[in-house]
């Protein structure tokens, strides 16, 4: 078993123990769950909503909804998967209520190959190269903010939270082929923007 799988199992075991404590009336245990996941939820919601303040509001609403629904949590899926699903659905409802959710569509593909998503430069960067790296990173986040909601969410869950395609499919409630398609298309859009900048650096 890999170290990553061991860590995930250990994390899931801690989560389940905290959930059981909450279900038995220990409110402080839920506070520990919030501490464990509030930053990760914000990392997903901020680019999704394009506004830090809105993300904080939706994150708070997410944890309120999670607390109210926790009595029905059976442990069939990992707690973080269950929580992310609530966060994404809450964000979608928030955008729909404000009538600012952009239309988007996706194709369903059984298998889409991986595409590189590496914007790191050399370790021995000069001050100019460091500045250029900051510009590239800024452009990456700007491009991510402009992606359709579904593509941005899938990419964030994969690249920032390191979720598997299977977990992303469960979280976003869509086929795994669609998840692969969304991530591929999101990476493709980012590469289209940053590759000319990387080529400029290498020349």
Question: Is residue 114 over pLDDT 70?
Answer: no
CATH code for the domain in which residue 167 is found: 1.10.10.10
| 2 confidence band (pLDDT: 50, 70, 90) | low
**Residue 7 shares a structural domain with residue 93:** yes
**Residue 65 shares a structural domain with residue 148:** no
In-domain check, residue 111 = no
Q: Which pLDDT score is estimated for 201? A: 52
In-domain check, residue 172 = yes
Q: Which pLDDT score is estimated for 100? A: 56
Q: Which pLDDT score is estimated for 200? A: 60
Question: Is residue 4 over pLDDT 60?
Answer: no
* pLDDT mean over 110-121: 38
**Residue 132 shares a structural domain with residue 80:** no
**Residue 161 shares a structural domain with residue 94:** no
**Residue 94 shares a structural domain with residue 26:** yes
Question: Is residue 129 over pLDDT 80?
Answer: no
Q: Which pLDDT score is estimated for 168? A: 85
Q: Which pLDDT score is estimated for 29? A: 92
* pLDDT mean over 178-196: 87
In-domain check, residue 30 = yes
In-domain check, residue 121 = no
Kindly report, residue by residue over 10-62, the tens digit of the pLDDT.
888 889 999 999 999 998 999 999 999 998 888 888 877 777 888 899 999 99
**Residue 16 shares a structural domain with residue 89:** yes
**Residue 50 shares a structural domain with residue 94:** yes
**Residue 136 shares a structural domain with residue 89:** no
**Residue 21 shares a structural domain with residue 90:** yes
Q: Which has the minimum average pLDDT: 91-105, 145-159, 162-176? A: 91-105
**Residue 84 shares a structural domain with residue 142:** no
In-domain check, residue 36 = yes
| 163 confidence band (pLDDT: 50, 70, 90) | confident
Total structural domains within the chain: 2
How much is the pTM? 0.59
Q: Which has the minimum average pLDDT: 12-26, 33-47, 88-102, 153-167? A: 88-102
What residue numbers bound the domain in which 45 lies? Answer: 3-98
**Cβ-proximal residues to 149 (8 Å cutoff; 6+ apart), any chain:** 48, 92, 95, 101, 102, 104
**Residue 7 shares a structural domain with residue 87:** yes
DSSP-derived secondary structure for the chain: --HHHHHHHHHHHHHHHHHHHHHTT-HHHHHHHHHHHHHHHHHHHHHHHT-HHHHHHHHHHHHHHHHHHGGG--SSS-HHHHHHHHHHHHHHHHHHHHT-PPP------S------------SS--HHHHHHHHHHHHHHHHHHHHS-HHHHHHHHHHHTS---HHHHHHHHTS-HHHHHHHHHHHHHHHHHHHHHHHHHHH-
In-domain check, residue 175 = yes
Q: How many angstroms separate the CA atoms of 27 and 8, rounded?
A: 24
In-domain check, residue 117 = no
In-domain check, residue 109 = no
CATH code for the domain in which residue 13 is found: 1.10.1740.10
**Residue 74 shares a structural domain with residue 146:** no
Average per-residue pLDDT for the chain: 76
């Amino acid at each position: 078993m890999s170290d990553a799988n061991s860590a995930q199992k250990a994390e899931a075991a801690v989560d389940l123990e905290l959930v059981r404590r909450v279900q038995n009336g220990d409110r402080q245990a839920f506070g520990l769950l919030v501490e464990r996941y509030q930053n990760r939820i914000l990392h997903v919601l901020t680019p999704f909503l394009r506004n830090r303040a809105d993300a904080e509001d939706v994150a708070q609403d997410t944890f309120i909804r999670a607390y109210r629904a926790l009595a029905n949590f059976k442990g069939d899926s990992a707690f973080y998967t269950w929580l992310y699903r609530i966060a994404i659905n809450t964000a979608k409802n928030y955008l729909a209520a404000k009538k600012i959710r952009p239309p988007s569509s996706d194709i369903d593909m059984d298998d889409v190959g991986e595409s590189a998503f590496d914007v790191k430069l050399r370790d021995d960067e000069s001050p100019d190269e460091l500045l250029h790296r900051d510009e590239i990173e800024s452009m990456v986040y700007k491009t991510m903010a402009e992606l359709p909601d579904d593509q941005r969410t899938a990419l964030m869950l994969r690249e920032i939270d390191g979720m598997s395609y299977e977990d992303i499919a469960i979280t976003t409630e869509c086929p795994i082929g669609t998840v692969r398609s969304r991530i591929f298309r999101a990476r493709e859009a980012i590469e289209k923007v940053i590759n000319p900048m990387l080529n400029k650096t290498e020349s």
